[in-house]
Structure formats: C-alpha cells, structure tokens
Structure 1
Amino acid sequence: MSNTTATQTQSPSYKEVALGRRSVRVYDPSFKISREELTELFQEALRAPSTANGQPWRFLVIDSQPVKEKLLPIANNQQQIVDASAVIAVLGDMESYKLLETVFSRSVELGYMPEATKETLLPNYTKLFSSLPAEQMKKVLYIDGGLVSMQLMLSAKARGYDTVPMGGFDGAKLVEAFGISERYVPIMLIAIGKAAKEGHPTARLTADEVVNWNEFTL
C-alpha cells in the first residue's frame, strides 16, 4: 500500500484574502485566464448587494490583445491594460429598473418572494427609479458599481489572481470607441491577471483613527 497522500489545495481564509489583496500594476503578459473561469468569478461577484436588488451593473470584458491596444490610450497608456489577462469595464445601467420585472419574477419562482410582495414592490420601485433625476440615479450606480467591483476583486484574489481598480481613463472616449449607448455610465476599469511584480504594501489608518461610536467626534 502506498504511503503517498494526495496534496490538497486549501482555499484561503477570508482574512487572508482581504489582507493579502494588493493593487497590482505589473502583470505577466503570458498568463491567461479562461473565459470559463472569468464567468465563474462573475457568478460569485454578482452576489454583491444592490439598491432594491436592482443589480444595475453591466460589464465589458476586454481580453483580446488588439482590443486592449485600442483601450490603452483611453486609459492614459497604463501598461497593465495590455499586460493583464483581461480588463473589465464596469458600467452602470441608467435604465436598470426595466429589468426589475425579471429579477422579481425570478425571486417569486425560486420561492424567495411572495407574489403579493412582487405586485406591491414592482410598480413602486419602477416608478421611483424611472423618475429619479439623472445625477441621483448616477449616485446609485456608483455605489452599487463599487460594491460589485470590490466583490469581484476579492473573488479574484481568492482564486489566486491579482487586480487593480482604475479610475484613470476617459469615460467619454470609452463609450465612443466601444459604441456604448448613453444609457450606460462608466464606473471603473479593473485589470485582472497574474502579478509579475507584487503590489507594494501600503500604510493604513487604524480603526481607532476612523471609527466613531454613537457620536461623531473626529
């Protein structure tokens, strides 16, 4: 009988993922993440919370080298654009309320929501979001887009990948170059791949310096 034991890969703890995540800007250009695995990563990220469960996030994944080259000048010629396995453009849907029927109906079918609740909430939320001023709706999109982006980056780290969120790009040029309609608001770009150089650690304020209890005294 062989005494050899199979080596098992242990998933990192949440603490290891949260403390180990770094913003990586130097990537191994030969490392590729398959679309299948990226899709699985998105399935995890899409569990992020959103306003009224509206899930207003939309994504453009750029994994073709010629298309990354097209994106490069739009993102201020940051090298990670072309060296990362993929770049994810996170967009917010100004008309995401049009899919509330789908979301709520699916919740009813799965037994997560009574039909009566759907019949009450759907018209109320549809009226609310369809009548919001554009700037107020954009605030909702930025908040929800930030939530899903953070979850995506943590999911990536848990799988052994590296990421960096990028605000340094021209949103107007992005929508023009990729034919994105005015319905969608660019929120951020996220480069994802394998680090060729680890992201450097950064100093952080302590909890005592930023947290108040019951009254704001800072």
Structure 2
Amino acid sequence: MIDFLYSQGYTVNESNTANPNHPTNTRTTNVLLQHVQVNAIADYYGITQLSDLATSNIRAVLQSQWSTSNFSTVVKETFSTTGDRPLQHMLALTASDHIEELLSSATFPNLEPLHGFAVSILREVLAKYQSRLKALDKEIQALTLLVTAKENEVKAIQARRHSDTTKVHRVIRNINHCISIVNRAALCGACNDDAGCYISRSGRMEEPTYIVRCIRCHYRYRE
C-alpha cells in the first residue's frame, strides 16, 4: 500500500515460496493470492484506485494463465478476505466464461462461498444468453429481409421470363409462317414474276417481324 501511495503501482513476490496457509499452491496461485490481499487491504482502507488495480492484475493473470484450480483458490480467498464488489463481479463474469469447465471440476462446485457467488454467476450467464439471443434475432431479421429481397428478385425474373417467352413464341411463329410462304410461293401476286423473294425485317429489336417480299416489286407475299 505504501508503494502505491508513492508510485501508483505495486509489485508482488513471484518466487515459488509457498504460502504457509496454502502449502501446495503454485507460483501463479501465490501471485494471485497476493493480488487478492492487496485488494483486501485497499478495500479496507477505501483506496479505490488500488483495489481496481489489483482487480485488473487478477484479471490479467487469470486470462493469461487460466486454470480451474487457481480460479477456485482466488474465489475462496476473495470471499474470505475482501468485500470489494468490482472484484467479485469480475470473478462472476470470468466464471460465466468458463462455466462448463468449472462445473465439471472437482474443486469449484464445493466451495463454501458459492452460495452467494452462484447467483452472480447465473446472472452473468443469463446476460450472455440474452445477449446471444438478441444477436440471433438481429441475424434472423437481416436474413428475413434478404430472403424477401431475393424472393422479389425471383418474381421479377419470372415475370421477365414469361414476357420474353411470349415474345420468342411470337417470333418463332412468324418465322415458321415465312418459311411456309417461301416453300409455297411460285409467282408474285402483284407482278406475276417468278424472280424470287427475300425476307425483310421490321419491328423492335427484341421482337422483330419478318416479311416475305418479291425481289422485283417488293410486294409482300401473303398466304
């Protein structure tokens, strides 16, 4: 605490020396317990910046060196030594991120302080699921709009296809009609000449009309 008042920071002993109260703890666990102790002192003396710093350090260690054993030890120590709500909230949030792993572990479900901590965890888990549901609802809405847009595109394409099919059928009938005339034509009905005939085109590009005409007088051959 004195170090923090002068430097706005503090250091912990990262040696492997075991805490006499926790003789089997690893170095990481010892580091975490020291941060919890700093938080407890800061909470007792009302030094918010120091307790927040300790909480941040605990979070960083848990993220980089996660284990259910370390976490269980931190939870037990926290609820035994400090009443700092931000730290407890951070631990509840962390537990919700690892809820399945923690519930299947041998140590975490049997911790004595869990009777109150469990409620906080469940609230965090519930919040995560609610957030996930909202995200899924937004995805569904976006996909629904996309499907509607695609359905409208399909309807427009089907309408164009129907229109184009009708035009194509008219053109085919016209061409067959011209072929029939050419096959049966002998003499021009106007000039009575047998010079022959040709096919002219008129109408729109997308739906042309073909006409059989006399080469000499350009008379339109008819049935």
What TM-score do you get using the length of structure 2 for normalisation? 0.27
Higher relative contact order (CA 8 A, sep 6+): 1
Structure showing greater Rg: 2
What TM-score do you get using the length of structure 1 for normalisation? 0.27
Structure 1 or 2: more strand by fraction: 1
